[in-house]
């Protein structure tokens, strides 16, 4: 992370938050469509490897913690919000020209907020994208999950491709 000496917020990575808002809106829009047009756990085949299948996940990735009594809803929401706050601070510390890193962080923030919104409002995360090969199924996911994964991959690529100035102390 680099320290921004200019106090002008528009010169920081925060200018990329429009992408977070776009991810959040797209995620909520697609979840709304899935919830209103799909029947729970009934696959709608798109092609040989993709189904639209409505599922509710009370846990995290791969339904980890989904079988717990409900404490996970609040724990996961607080944890995700703490991570979002940290990522927002990271964005604020970045220069706006650090495009790949800022885009990566914005994707993760938008995805995290999309899933936190579901978790707080509904008590579960709406998943509906189901990828499979014959009888081998990947756990269902959503646009928010896709944005988080893409952001994480881009952040790793950024770490190898771009050498950012280290923070001066």
Active site residues: 127, 145
Report the run of H or E that residue 68 belongs to, with start and end.
Answer: none
Helices (H), the chain: 17-37, 71-93, 99-122, 143-161
**Strand order from edge to edge, sheet including 125-133:** 44-47, 50-57, 125-133, 136-137
Tokens of 81: 């919000």
For residue 135, give every residue at least 6 positions away whose Cβ sits within 8 Å of its Cβ, in sequence order, or none: none
**Whole-angstrom distance, CA of residue 162 vs CA of residue 2:** 13
Distances 86 to 133, 148, 155 between C-alpha atoms, Å: 37, 15, 15
Pairing of strands 50-57, 44-47: antiparallel
């Amino acid at each position: 992370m680099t320290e921004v000496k200019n106090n002008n917020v528009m010169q920081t990575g925060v200018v990329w938050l429009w992408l977070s808002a776009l991810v959040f809106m797209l995620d909520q829009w697609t979840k709304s469509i899935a919830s209103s047009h799909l029947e729970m756990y009934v696959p709608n085949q798109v092609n040989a490897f993709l189904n639209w299948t409505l599922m509710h996940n009370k846990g995290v990735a791969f339904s980890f913690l989904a079988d717990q009594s409900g404490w996970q809803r609040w724990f996961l929401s607080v944890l995700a919000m703490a991570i979002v706050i940290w990522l927002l601070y990271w964005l604020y510390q970045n220069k706006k020209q650090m495009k790949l890193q800022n885009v990566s962080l914005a994707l993760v923030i938008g995805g995290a907020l999309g899933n936190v919104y579901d978790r707080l409002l509904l008590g579960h995360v709406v998943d509906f994208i189901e990828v499979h090969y014959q009888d081998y199924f990947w756990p269902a996911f959503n646009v928010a999950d896709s944005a988080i994964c893409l952001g994480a991959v881009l952040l790793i690529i950024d770490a190898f491709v771009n050498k950012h100035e280290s923070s001066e102390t």
